[in-house]
Amino acid sequence: MRLERLVQGTLGLGLVLLLGVPEAAAQQRSWPGLPSKNARPEDAEDDDEPEDDDERLGGELLRERLPSLRTRAEPRVVQGTLGFGTRLLYLPLNVEGTLDLYPVPWLRVGLVYAAGLSFKWDGQQTTGTFAQYGEAAVGLRLWSTLSQTGADLQLRRSIGGYGEALPKWARPRRGDFAEVLPVWLPSSHHLFVEGGALTGFVGFLECTSGCEPNQVTQYRPLSRQLLLPFAGVRYVYYSEALNEKPAVRRVRYGQLFVHLLLHAFNQPTADAYYWNEQRVERAPVGFRVGGELPLSPFCIAALLGQSCAQPSVSLGYTPYPAFLTVEIHARFPIR
């Protein structure tokens, strides 16, 4: 009898070791809040994060939850950035600043100034030179509407202290990183018709002698700060939420534009040539299409609690010179 009980106890202990220990080890290795193979249905129900948009907080409920939260749908009167980038054709490398003004809701004034490195021909060789770029535009609002956008605010341990939550698929459901508040924030959409002018430096060559085929050609520098008018439409999106404690700094300012570039006011009348002696062509009109994302998808600076750079990209074709242009910028908002 004793021998039988001893055998049964030994077998029971063996089953516990085989089944219970791996299960406990698996629970220790799992990241708290992430679903595991051994998760029970009742555990999933404990998740306090709403899955339905109807459960997001907005209006009075949001103000009760965060009394000091300040929200804004319309763009601020003054929006500024500092950054750097490239403007192929005018400035291959530059630092820049932008200023957007909304003195009244139906009026937008946009200013851009950049300075950096360009190239010109000094009569013997191509050299680097200091160059500038400027742009000014005035827009009248054709259409506008208020809306709301769904957002997830992380009230503790957010990246950079911005109150920004990781995407739902990447964050744990519980723990210090899971205090996420789904909310509705006010936002706005605007469409402007605008016109203005841009100025950029070009360094070309002008033929002085031997300009016919099969002749020894002589050139002299032909540099110009071109002034091109443009007109088009611009779409603007804005949403803002600020709170001191817990820290929330969520600002979304995005733009898309389409411009028609017209004949330069001061383009040279003489034929101009590139440094490879190819003739500079002319076109009756040009265009450019571009925009500025409201937030960089790869914000390394936020890890250090700094402002995120907003990427800006545009692609176009200038009438003089008839040339493809590409612009890429990284701009840091001035708050």
Q: What is the per-residue pLDDT across 189-210, written as a single tens digit (0 to 9) for each?
A: 999 999 999 999 998 888 888 7
Span 227-238, average pLDDT: 98
pLDDT at 334: 85
Residue 225 lies in a domain: yes
pLDDT at 5: 47
pLDDT at 174: 61
Nearest-angstrom CA–CA distance, 39 and 36: 5
pLDDT at 75: 96
Residue 49 lies in a domain: no
Q: Is residue 148 scored above 90 in pLDDT?
A: yes
Please tell me the total count of domains within the chain: 1
Q: Is residue 333 scored above 80 in pLDDT?
A: yes
For the chain, how far is it from start to end, CA to CA, in angstroms?
83
Q: Is 161 helix (H, G, I), strand (E, B) or coil?
A: helix
pLDDT at 3: 40
pLDDT at 50: 47
DSSP string across 255-285: EEEEEEE---TT--SS-EE-TTSPBPP--S-
Residue 184 lies in a domain: no
Q: Is residue 301 scored above 70 in pLDDT?
A: no
pLDDT at 289: 98
Pull the structure tokens for residue 110: 């946009």
Nearest-angstrom CA–CA distance, 80 and 11: 74
Residue 312 lies in a domain: yes
Q: Which domain holds residue 280?
A: 72-144+191-334
Of 170 and 59, the one with more pLDDT: 59
Residue 298 lies in a domain: yes
Q: Is 17 helix (H, G, I), strand (E, B) or coil?
A: helix
Of 146 and 209, the one with more pLDDT: 146
232, 259 Cβ separation under 8 angstroms: yes
63-93 pLDDT, tens digit per residue, is: 999 999 999 999 999 999 999 999 988 999 9
Residue 326 lies in a domain: yes
Model confidence band, residue 34 (pLDDT cutoffs 50, 70, 90):
very low
Residue 257 lies in a domain: yes
Of 146 and 168, the one with more pLDDT: 146
82, 331 Cβ separation under 8 angstroms: yes
Span 134-160, average pLDDT: 88
pLDDT at 154: 80
Residue 230 lies in a domain: yes
Of 176 and 183, the one with more pLDDT: 183
Model confidence band, residue 46 (pLDDT cutoffs 50, 70, 90):
very low
